[in-house]
Chains A and B, each alone.
Chain A
Amino acid sequence: MVLEVKDLRYHLPGNGRPLVDGISFSVGAGETLVMLGRSGAGKTTTLKLVNRLLEPSSGDVRVSGTPAHAVEPTKLRRRIGYVIQEIGLFPHFTVAANVGLLPRLARWPSDRIDARVRELLALVGLEPAEFAARFPHQLSGGQRQRVGVARALALDPQLLLLDEPFGALDPITRLELQREFRALASKLGKAAVFVTHDVREGLLLGTRIGLLDGGRLAFLGTPDDFRASPQPEVRKFMEAA
């Protein structure tokens, strides 16, 4: 298993209400676990507990067998590709510099960085010759999302955490990126946790579905089980689709 999470809990210091309340799941290579849940359910918080942007109050996180708390946070994060909700490209860097930043910090030789950047841009469907030298503000929303994904893949991490990466897109572009992501995920064989509140997106992309509700994992199973589940939390979501 690439990612194993056991009995994860998180509450803010002081305030007693837990934001993540005892959740367990695991994700293997080639699997995409879709984390569904309404706004405020704790999806982003869960991802941040995995890469230690937040420190769990209790519970166990293992990445490729190694306990996350035993690794220095910055080292841990370099082994995990992370795409945040707002993408957060560096506005003063070109597309190539954004994608090549981690390799540069890892002191790769520059010709290897260039080759990697070209490879990744092609992988996410951006013509390197056209896009490498552009700045983020010269891209459309969909192109920015692609760059965000390429940047997360730079060091070839085994685990990807994606926080609503296709959030603010028109339905057609969104569908296009979803299709591409599905092809990419099975081609690369990564383990991915994909957060969304869009059930259709979840059912399209997930090999498994988790449903977060008030910090608890109300459901965890295959997309087919999810469709058929009589659980009221699941029904509510299915009806909204």
Chain B
Amino acid sequence: MAISTGLALLFGLPLGVLVAHHPAWRRPVLGLANVFQTIPSLALFGLLIPVFGIGAWTAITALVVYALLPIVRNTYTGIAGVDAAVREAGRGMGMTDGELLRLVELPLAAGFILAGVRIATVVSVGIATIAAAIGAGGLGVYIFRGVATVDNTLILAGAIPAALLALLADALLGVVERRLVWRQR
């Protein structure tokens, strides 16, 4: 889950920047990410199994796909939301595009980007649980086994940690967000 969110960030951040700086890419990229987001997770697993086989790789790929949209969209929203006058001042004083991105746009968009990572992580925990259905292991295994054997203890043994994990990841990233992000006003 941490791997997939990391990968999603690795792809999602540059995609978000691309989309923010080149309006022509906006519709295709966000549109495609949206389409993936809309496919039910089990259906996506079904589509990926012929490619990656049963197991962890299919699960990780699916998680990356799901985590991508919130990250791309929030990176884009964050950068697009940077005050035009601030960008103009930076360019006007002779900052290069790279300096502007690194020192101005990304720091000012950090709040949105981290919020995107947070959503992506929480979504990932949910989908990672379902990934047990395709033999990728994880807490979902207990839940599915518990359902199959009508064993409530077993279900809860999977469900409670999965829920706690999602809550914990969310809280943790919330703390990071508050620490790292420059407070708007």
Contacts and interface: CB of A to CB of B under 8 A. Distances in A.
A152 interface: yes
Interface string A84-108: 1111111110000000011001000
A190 interface: no
A137 B185 contact: yes
Going nearest first, the 8 A-B pairs with the smallest beta carbon separation are A88-B89, A77-B94, A86-B85, A78-B94, A88-B85, A82-B92, A92-B182, A74-B94
B85 A102 contact: no
B92 A90 contact: no
B32 to A, nearest CB: 30
Contacts of B103: 90, 101
A51 B91 CA distance: 10
A105 B83 contact: no
Contact of B88 (A74, A78, A84): A84
A198 to B, nearest CB: 20
B119 interface: no
Of B89, B94, B95, B103, most buried by chain A (CB within 10 Å of CB) is B94
Given A74-B96, A76-B94, A91 B89 contact: no
Of A51, A53, A84, most buried by chain B (CB within 10 Å of CB) is A84
B153 to A, nearest CB: 51
A216 interface: no
Size category, A interface:
20 to 34
A75 interface: yes
Given A88-B83, A90-B104, A91-B108, A105 B95 contact: yes
Nearest to B96: A74
A151 interface: yes
A152 B93 contact: yes
25 contacts: A51-B92, A53-B91, A53-B92, A73-B94, A74-B95, A74-B96, A77-B91, A78-B93, A82-B92, A84-B89, A85-B85, A86-B85, A87-B89, A88-B85, A88-B89, A88-B90, A90-B90, A90-B104, A91-B86, A91-B182, A91-B184, A101-B93, A102-B93, A137-B185, A151-B93
Contacts of A80: 94
Size category, B interface:
20 to 34
Interface in A81-137: 81-82, 84-92, 101-102, 105, 137
Interface string B101-124: 001100110000000000000000
B99 A105 contact: yes
A32 B40 CA distance: 66
Nearest to A151: B93
Nearest to B182: A92
A92 B107 contact: yes
A178 B184 CA distance: 32
Of A75, A88, A89, most buried by chain B (CB within 10 Å of CB) is A88
A23 to B, nearest CB: 20
Given A53-B92, A73-B94, A82-B89, 16 more contacts: A53-B91, A74-B96, A75-B94, A77-B91, A81-B93, A86-B89, A89-B89, A90-B90, A91-B83, A91-B86, A91-B184, A92-B104, A92-B107, A101-B95, A151-B93, A152-B93
Nearest to A86: B85
Interface in A29-88: 51, 53, 73-78, 80-82, 84-88
B88 A88 contact: yes
Contacts of B108: 91-92
Nearest to B86: A88
